[in-house]
Every structure is written in structure tokens, then in C-alpha cells.
Amino acid sequence: MKIASSFLLPLREKMAALGGRMRGLSNLSTSIVCGVDAVRPLIRRLRRHLLPQGEKGRGVLVALMAIACMAGAAADPAERLPDPVQESRARDLFREVRCLVCQNESIDDSQADLAGDLRGVIRDQVKQGRSDRQIRTFLVARYGEFVLLKPPFSPSNAVLWATPWVALVLGGGLMIVLLRRRATPGAPGEDVEQLSEGEEARVQALLKDE
Amino acid sequence: MITEFGAYALILALVLSALQMGLSAVGGARRMSVLTGAGQGAALGAFLCTGLTFLALVHAFVVSDFSVANVAANSHTAKPMLYKVAGAWGSHEGSMLLWCLVLTGFGAAMAAFGAALPPRLRAYAVATQGALGVLFLAYTVFASNPMTRLVNVPVEGASLNPLLQDPALAFHPPFLYCGYVGFSVVFSFSMAALIEGRVDAAWARWVRPWTLAAWSFLTVGITLGAFWAYYELGWGGWWFWDPVENASFMPWLIGTALLHSAVVLEKRGALPGWTVFLGLAAFTFSMLGAFLVRSGVLTSVHAFAVDPARGILLLTIMGIAAGSGFLLFALRAPSLNSGGLFAPVSRESAIVVNNIILSTATATVLLGTLYPLIREAMDGEAVSVGPPWFNLTFVPLMVLAMAILPAGPLLAWKRGDARLVMRRLWLALACAAILGLVAFAVIAPRHALASAGLALGVWLVAGAVLELAERVRAFRAPWAEVRRRTVGLPRGAWGMTLAHAGLGLFVLGASFETTWRVEAAQALSVGGQLKLGAYELALTDVGAVEGANYIAERGIVKITRGGAPICTAQPERRFYPTGRQTTSEVAICPRVLDDLYVVLGERRAGANGQPAWLVRAFVNPWVRLIFLGPLIMALGGLISLSDRRLRFGVARKAETAA
């Protein structure tokens, strides 16, 4: 029972929080732009916000507003770096960085103000010659792992990165084991019997005679 | 009045579903055909009543009856008629009603067209479908009733979000739901088979048509959604690994696995337990999708009506349905016959490998979707799992599956000969390798992975064509023989070839488009020019237009190539006063396989005081294949469905013979 409730608790909290987060979206963007470091506590605070009863339609509205802000903004010539190599590096990074005020998009796609600011920050750093790794570390230090659309390879993310391959190997292994077990001679209903080498040779000889 | 009638009919549908469940279950257990017959009648009645409610809701939308809360929240008098009607399923409540309509509809179809099924299996399946109907209708009646009236009637409605006012999206939900909920039939059949304790080839024959139908609908539904995202959201993306997309994709993956394992069960009697498991899992993933989309546990671009309280209810429904299903499975699975045997190299094995990979891929998508929740519950850290992660996990898995795909249909049942298969496929392999290398050498910028993707696509298409050629003995037997074989080829074989080739086309399109798309953007004043790859774009005019429920700026962009006119694109930037929303209406100039994709951005101050607009343009090469491929796959499904071997009567003969 305890397990169930401890699982459901964050779930319920999160569900409630999303409503709050969405409601706060419009006032959020201004405060975020002036103090980017304030984002994480802000999001946390908003998460605690509960969606008041009877405001059912509100969530949709804000969610849809969030869609409306999507429009592939990163190509804006006003923002671009003069060096095409640096620019393409920056663009590759943008695709891995989440727009924090949007619902679920990269800063490469988002037109939100914060996404624009973040693109500026990253382009500046690319221009200063910092490596991709340094820039990612910088972003994580500022906003937490939430900002990366590609979670880093770290012990705490081991489950995430390893599971698909472990599952594949387990599935394949299970198949091989089962096939072997069922192919053992003497199993009931055996009809795909493996011939021994001697038997195989005899069959070939008999076939040749015909 | 009509609305009250609709609300009443919905409650009646709930009662009838309960009757359907009770009568069929008791009738099945006691072998009383009167009761099972009454249960079938109740199933038809439940569908009829849900249909009436649905019509009542559509009517309320058509006449813009804003005293109905759902209409007031989602409609507007100025909305075009198509979107008024589509608004009926555009909201949470309406779409749940659509869900119930499809659910009871499939229940009624089982009752009406199941005469050839064994009576008990049919009774239990109808009963299970009735139970699902009770769960979802009760949810709709008590927690999300679309017929609720408002005390203070507004003069005007709040309108449907303009982004959703789009033909592709008007038809997207009905297709999607026919697919999602179509798997409920498979779920019910699986439950019935488990209750009876018998899963055999005949069972697989009954289940396959339903799976095929649901899978085809789901394929079309997902494709429509992707197509909508492509041309409506304004930057040419068509798949974002967003939780809501994943929610629709997981049942599709499991459904695909089920389609294949059901073939093994039907043809060879092997994998009964596994097939039933997949039958239960497909609809479970549909329900999980409904929960994820509507509860708001995950952040999504397409978030639906987000409501935590309803989320908990949906989770409970899912828990009850899936829980009882898998509990029954756990109890009965050990007693299921393990079925026919097969060698490690055989068509059965190939399909098992396909199933392992597809299941792993489903688990991968599920993990990626839920991981942020898991991580937050574990150590409170908020993380994101986005497209880069899926590209590094899901895509390689699929590549693996597709690498072995063409070999599967060429392997013999029971025991195949890998060398023989390779001898038959060498031509496909050679085509793939050569074209891949050519692509690597010729197409700039050079891109090894994308070239490999092209080779994979060619491998799939050529493999499918070769398999067909092999079946009809093309280039080997005399012409008359080939013709006779081609005509006599079962539709199921055509369906499979089309589906596999369609997948190949999709891979070609996706590899090409994501890598070699050309992008250009510039702030242009009227008369300004922009170079986009080999094309020249000129903004010749920007004028104001007025639509039914919006006002817009429309740019006239003349596209030429080396001076020769190609087409005139008219992208718009629309403002919908009702919702105070701005959307950009993309202009697409279709070439044969490519799209020229032009977006008009916001107005800004340009040089020397003239207004300028940010014009963004893309050449999306081979993008047509991305949407054509899945449609061909769905077409393959439908052609298979029309195979006479899959009709009900035939299945009965197979059973009596067995």
C-alpha cells in the first residue's frame, strides 16, 4: 500500500502542478527573461500551484498558446553568426536544448523570448570558442538537466540509456534459450528433429540412389 | 430538447452496456443462447444510443447552441461548417464520446457479424466489450459529460483553437480512435480466449481482420497528425517524439507486432500465449495513451484538456481493465499449448525477432516518455528526454528490424535456408549498396548515415518487389504461368508487399528530408529577393485578406529557378480575433517528391523605414514519401483485409477441419 501511495503522490502532484505551471505561463516569461537563474525555483513554485476547480478550459487555452509560439525561429538572419561553421555548430546545439517556457520544444524551433535569449547566449559562447561540452555544462549548471533534450550519460541516467539494449539482449537471449530447449530431442511433439551427421550422410546417399 | 435527449441516450447506452456485459457473460457461462442473444441485442442498442448522443452533440455544434457548455467552450458562430462539426470531437468531452461511439460500434459489429464465431467465445468477447463500454461510458456520463448545460448562456462561443481548424485535423481523431479503440476488439477476443482457455489457429483468424482494420486506421490517423504538424506548425517538422505522439505510436508498434505474431499463430499454431499477451497489450497502450494525453502528467506541445482529477479516473479505468486482463493471462498462460515447433532459421523465428525488436522499441518509447516522471519520483531531478535520445535508441532498433525484414517473407515456415534467401535477395542488396554509395558520393553535403538510410530504404522496397517476383516466378517461368500466378496471388500477399514497400518509401523520405533539407531566411521588403538552394524567391506583394473568422496578411512570393517561373506561393499570417491568436499559414509548392515550403513571419521595421517581413523558406526533398509511405502501408492493410481467407466463414471451416 505504501509503495502505491508513494508512487501516486508525485504523480498527482505533477498533474496538479502542470495546471499551475500553465496558468502562470504568461507572467512567467517576463520574470524569466530578466533573471534566468530564477527559472528553476520558479518552475518549482508553479508546480506547487494547484489548478482551482472549475477552470477546466484554461489548460487547453494555454497549451494551445504554447503551440502557437512554435515557428522555427533559429534561422532568423538577425541572430545568425557570421561564421557558417560556428553557426552550424550552434544550430546543432540548439536542437539539444529545451525551451524552458514552452511545452516541449527545442530552442531551435521556439519563438518564445527566452528561447531567443538562450540562442544568443549559446551563439556568444560558440563565438568565444567554447566547446560543446563546456556549453552543455554551463547550461546544466544554470538550469539543471531539464534543459538538455538529450540526457547526459551519467550514472543516474544509466537506466534510461541501458534499458533498450538490455531489453533487446534479454529478449534475444530468451528466444535462443527457448528455441534450444524446445529443439532438444525427445521433447513431445518434436517434428523439427536435427539429424546427426551420420544420419544426414545416409539421407544424402539414399537421395542420390534414387 | 435534443441535447437532453442526447444526454438521456448516453445514460441508456451505459445501462445497455451493463446489460450487454451481464447477459452475455451469464449466457456464455450457462450456454443459454437466449441470454447471449439478448446480450448481442444490448450491444446493438448501446451503439445506437451512443450514436444518437453523438448526433445530438453534432447538432448542438451545427446550430451553435451555446447553452451546452462544451459547444460554448469550443465553437463559434463564425466558424466554417466543417470545423463546427469537427468541433464535436475536438474537445476532451467530445473526443471521449467519440471513443465510446467507436467502442460500442465495434461491440455492435461483433454482435452483428460474429455469427460464424463459436457461441461461447463470441459471448465472452461481447461481454468483455460490454465491460469496457461500462467503464468508458460511466466515465463519460459522470466525469466528462459533453451534454452538460450552462446556467448563464453566453452570446458567443470561445471558438476552437485556429490551429486545429484544419481539414487534416478534422479527420485525424476519427481515424486515430478507430485505430486505438479497434484494439479493444482484440482485447475482448483475448479475454474470451483466456476465459475459454483455448488459443488456436482459428482464434488467430478471427482476430487478424480486426487487428488489421485497427492497425490500418491507426496508421492513417498518425500520418494525418504528422502531416498536419508538417504544414500547420510552420517549420516543417513532422515528428517530435512528443508524449502525445508517443501515446499514439506505442499501440501502433504493439499492433504491428501483433499482426505478425497472429500470422504465425494462424499458419503454424505457434506463439499462442505471446499473441494473446500482445492482444491485451495493444489496447492497454491505447488506454495508457488516453491517460497520458488527458491527465497532463507529461508536458506536451499538444496537451489536451488537462485535468488531474480526470487523469486519476482514467488511470483507474486502465488499471481495472488491463489489470484484470493480465491477471487472467497470468492464471491461464501456463495452461496454453505451446504450439508448433520451428528451427532457429525459419519464418517463425524471423517473426519472433521482429516481435522482440518491436516490443523492445515499444518499451523504449514508453521509457523515454515516462522517464521524466520516474526520475522526478526517484530523486526529484527534472530531466527532459527529447528527440536526440530517441534518435540514438529507437532508430537503431528499427534499423536492425528493417535490416532483416526482406529476408522474413522469403524464409520457409518451420525450417528455412538462409543461403537460399540470400541468393534470392542479392539483387536487392546490390541495389541498396550501389545506390547508397552513389548517394554518399554525389549528394552534398556528404552524409554517411543518411546515405545508409537511403540504402536501407532501397533494400526494403527492392526486397518487397523481389519477394513478389519470387512468388509469381517472374523471369523464371513462362509468361502465361507468371500471369496465372499473379492473378491468383492472394490479396494478403499483395497487402504484405505493399506494407513492406511503404515502410521502405518512408525510410527513403525520412532519411532524405531530415538530412538534406535546405533552409533560408531573410527579412524582405516588398520587392526583396531570397536565394534558396537552386531557387530564387521574390516577395512581390503583401496584402490584407479577410477570411471567415480571421484577418490575414498574405504575401505573394514568386519562385523561379534559373529565371524560369516555378510557382507563386501565398503564405499567410492569420489573426483570429476570437481567441486573439496569430497563426502562420504555410504555402507549399509541391514538386514531384519535394516541397517548397514558404512561411511569412511577423512584420518588422526594415531598411529605410519600409516594412519588412521575415520570410523563411525550405526545400524539403522527398518529403512526399514520408506521408505516402505510411498511407501505402495502410492501403496494404486494407487490401489484406479484403482477402477472402480472412472472412469469418472461412475461419469456421478451418476450425472444423482442425
Please tell me if residue A51 touches chain B, with a CB cutoff of 8 Å.
yes
Show residues of chain A in contact with B236, CB under 8 Å: 72
Please tell me if residue B237 touches chain A, with a CB cutoff of 8 Å.
yes
| Domain ranges for chain B | 1-158, 166-339, 417-513, 518-620
A104 contacts B236? CB cut-off 8 A: no
* Residue for grid cell 450457462: B30
Show residues of chain A in contact with B414, CB under 8 Å: 191-192
Q: Which class does domain A70-152 fall in?
A: mainly alpha
Distance of alpha carbon B34 from its chain centroid, rounded?
Answer: 39
Specify the pLDDT at position A65: 38
For chain A, first and last CA: distance in Å? 73
B389 contacts A151? CB cut-off 8 A: yes
What's chain A's Rg over C-alpha atoms? 28
Closest CA to B146 of B101, B83, B105: B101
* pLDDT at B305 > cutoff 90: no
Q: Count the neighbouring beta carbons within 10 Å of the beta carbon of residue A162.
A: 12
Mean pLDDT across the stretch B505-528?
Answer: 92
Rounded distance between C-alpha atoms, residue B233 and residue B220, angstroms: 19
Please tell me if residue A189 touches chain B, with a CB cutoff of 8 Å.
yes
* pLDDT at B656 > cutoff 50: no
Please tell me if residue B447 touches chain A, with a CB cutoff of 8 Å.
no
Rounded distance between C-alpha atoms, residue B298 and residue B654, angstroms: 47
| Spatial contact of B569 and B596, defined as CB atoms under 8 Å apart | yes
Specify the pLDDT at position B303: 53
Partnered with residue B543 across adjacent β-strands are B554
For the stretch B552-585, pLDDT in tens is 999 999 999 988 999 999 999 998 887 788 888 8
| pLDDT class of A21 with cuts at 50, 70, 90 | very low
pLDDT above 90 coverage of chain B, percent: 63
For the stretch B74-103, pLDDT in tens is 888 888 899 999 989 888 889 999 999 999
Please tell me if residue A76 touches chain B, with a CB cutoff of 8 Å.
yes
* pLDDT at A3 > cutoff 50: no
* Residue for grid cell 553557426: A87
* pLDDT at A127 > cutoff 60: yes
* Closest alpha carbon within chain A to B315: A8
| Domain ranges for chain A | 1-68, 70-152, 156-184
For the stretch B435-444, pLDDT in tens is 999 999 998 8
Rounded distance between C-alpha atoms, residue B129 and residue B327, angstroms: 17
The torsion of the CA quartet A133, A134, A136, A139, rounded to 10 degrees, works out to 170
A189 contacts B341? CB cut-off 8 A: yes
* pLDDT at B651 > cutoff 70: no
Comparison of pLDDT for A49 and B397, the residue scoring more: B397
* pLDDT at A57 > cutoff 50: no
Comparison of pLDDT for B350 and A186, the residue scoring more: B350
CB-nearest partner of B306 from A63, A148, A164: A63
Q: What are the grid coordinates assigned to A125, written together?
A: 559562447
Show residues of chain A in contact with B158, CB under 8 Å: 57
- Closest CA of chain B from A208, distance in Å: 21
DSSP secondary structure of B399-464:
HHHHHHTTHHHHSPSSS--HHHHHHHHHHHHHHHHHHHHHHHHHSSS--HHHHHHHHHHHHHHHHH
| pLDDT class of B452 with cuts at 50, 70, 90 | very high
Show residues of chain B in contact with A164, CB under 8 Å: 360-361, 363-364, 367, 393-394, 397
B352 contacts A18? CB cut-off 8 A: no
Q: What is the ipTM of this complex?
A: 0.85
Please tell me if residue A48 touches chain B, with a CB cutoff of 8 Å.
no
Q: Which chain B residues in 93-152 lie under 8 Å from chain A, judged by CB atoms?
A: none
Among A35-39, B170-174, B302-306, B453-457, whose mean pLDDT is lowest? A35-39
The one-letter amino acid at B628: L
CB-nearest partner of A75 from B377, B387, B616: B616
Mean pLDDT across the stretch A159-180?
Answer: 91
Please tell me if residue A166 touches chain B, with a CB cutoff of 8 Å.
no
The string over B474-486, giving b where at least 16 C-beta atoms fall within 10 Å of a residue's C-beta and e elsewhere, is: beeeeeeebeeee
Among A102-106, B47-51, B384-388, name the most confident range.
B47-51
A192 contacts B297? CB cut-off 8 A: no
Rounded distance between C-alpha atoms, residue B426 and residue A179, angstroms: 28
Among A13, A18, A42, A191, pick the best mutation site for testing chain B contact (most B Cβ within 10 A).
A18
B397 contacts A164? CB cut-off 8 A: yes
The sign of the CA dihedral B619, B622, B626, B631 is positive
| Helix/strand/coil for B43 | helix
Average pLDDT across chain B, whole number: 90
Partnered with residue B536 across adjacent β-strands are B531, B560
Average pLDDT across chain A, whole number: 67
* pLDDT at B586 > cutoff 80: yes
Show residues of chain A in contact with B341, CB under 8 Å: 182-183, 187, 189-192
Mean pLDDT across the stretch B1-16?
Answer: 94
Partnered with residue B537 across adjacent β-strands are B530, B559
* pLDDT at B639 > cutoff 90: yes
* pLDDT at B121 > cutoff 50: yes
CB-nearest partner of A190 from B312, B341, B360: B341
CB-nearest partner of A14 from B357, B373, B599: B373
Rounded distance between C-alpha atoms, residue B261 and residue B279, angstroms: 10
- Closest CA of chain A from B233, distance in Å: 6
Q: What are the grid coordinates assigned to B40, written together?
A: 448481442
B356 contacts A70? CB cut-off 8 A: no
Please tell me if residue A7 touches chain B, with a CB cutoff of 8 Å.
yes
Comparison of pLDDT for B627 and B164, the residue scoring more: B627
A150 contacts B397? CB cut-off 8 A: no
* pLDDT at B595 > cutoff 50: yes
For the stretch B461-514, pLDDT in tens is 999 999 999 888 877 788 888 888 888 888 989 999 999 999 999 999 999 999
Specify the pLDDT at position A56: 36
Q: Which chain B residues in 297-326 lie under 8 Å from chain A, judged by CB atoms?
A: 297, 299-308, 311-312
* pLDDT at A53 > cutoff 60: no
| pLDDT class of A82 with cuts at 50, 70, 90 | confident
Q: Which chain B residues in 586-645 lie under 8 Å from chain A, judged by CB atoms?
A: 599, 601, 614, 616
A161 contacts B579? CB cut-off 8 A: no
DSSP secondary structure of B535-603:
EEEEEEEEEEEE-SS-EEEEEEEEEEETTEEEEEE--EEEEETTTTEEEEE-EEEE-SS-EEEEEEEEE
Show residues of chain A in contact with B522, CB under 8 Å: 77
* pLDDT at B589 > cutoff 90: yes
CA–CA–CA angle B212, B213, B216 (5° rounding): 80
B312 contacts A15? CB cut-off 8 A: yes
| Helix/strand/coil for B626 | helix
- 10 Å CB burial of residue B72 (0-12, 13-18, 19+) is buried
B389 contacts A150? CB cut-off 8 A: yes
Specify the pLDDT at position B20: 96
Among B36-50, B592-606, B616-630, whose mean pLDDT is lowest? B592-606
Mean pLDDT across the stretch B246-266?
Answer: 95
A11 contacts B297? CB cut-off 8 A: yes
For the stretch B28-67, pLDDT in tens is 999 999 999 999 999 999 999 999 999 999 999 999 999 9
H or E element, residue B612: strand B611-620
Rounded distance between C-alpha atoms, residue B128 and residue B189, angstroms: 8
- Closest CA of chain B from A40, distance in Å: 9
| Spatial contact of B225 and B245, defined as CB atoms under 8 Å apart | yes
H or E element, residue B531: strand B529-532
| Spatial contact of A102 and A66, defined as CB atoms under 8 Å apart | yes
| pLDDT class of A70 with cuts at 50, 70, 90 | very low
Among A197-201, B2-6, B323-327, whose mean pLDDT is lowest? A197-201
The string over B527-562, giving b where at least 16 C-beta atoms fall within 10 Å of a residue's C-beta and e elsewhere, is: ebebebbebbbbbeebeeeeeebbebbbbbbbbeee
Give Cβ neighbours of residue B416 (< 8 Å, ≥ 6 apart): B343, B345, B346, B347, B349, B350
A160 contacts B308? CB cut-off 8 A: no
Specify the pLDDT at position A141: 92
Asked if omega into B445 is within 30° of 0 (cis), the reply is yes
Specify the pLDDT at position A59: 38
